[in-house]
Amino acid sequence: MLMLKTLEPQQQESITCCYRNRSPRVQVVRITNIPNWYFERVVFPQQHLMFDAPPKAHLEVHNSEIATAIQVDCIPCRQLRVKTAC
């Protein structure tokens, strides 16, 4: 599992999210809907990716093909939020 801290310290509001690539292909995931902030990572098949993101962020999922990347999903990060037990 890969854990990334992705927000600048001045951004107080964030949620911890987890995405798993359940496909047999390498995927590229991106968050592009937050002004002045950009996130992009490669996620291998069956790999989990944990990251911090603003609550309004959307994770774009792109399947990697030879010489192309096709967007296959756009998931609100609130749906990927890691729930912790108190």
Bridge partners of residue 73, in order along the sequence: 61
Q: Find where tokens 């990716």 sit.
A: 49
Task: Write out the H or E segment, with its range, that includes residue 75.
Answer: strand 68-76
Local confidence band at 85 (pLDDT 50, 70, 90 cut-offs): very low
86: helix, strand or coil: coil
Domains of the chain: 2-80 (2.60.40.780)
Which tens digits make up the pLDDT trace of 7-65? 454 556 899 999 999 999 999 999 999 998 889 999 999 999 999 999 999 999 998 77
Q: Quick check: 58 and 29 in contact, CB under 8 A?
A: no
With CA atoms as reference, report the closest residue to 5 among 51, 41, 37, 66: 51
More confident residue, 9 or 78: 78
Q: DSSP assignment, residue 81? A: B
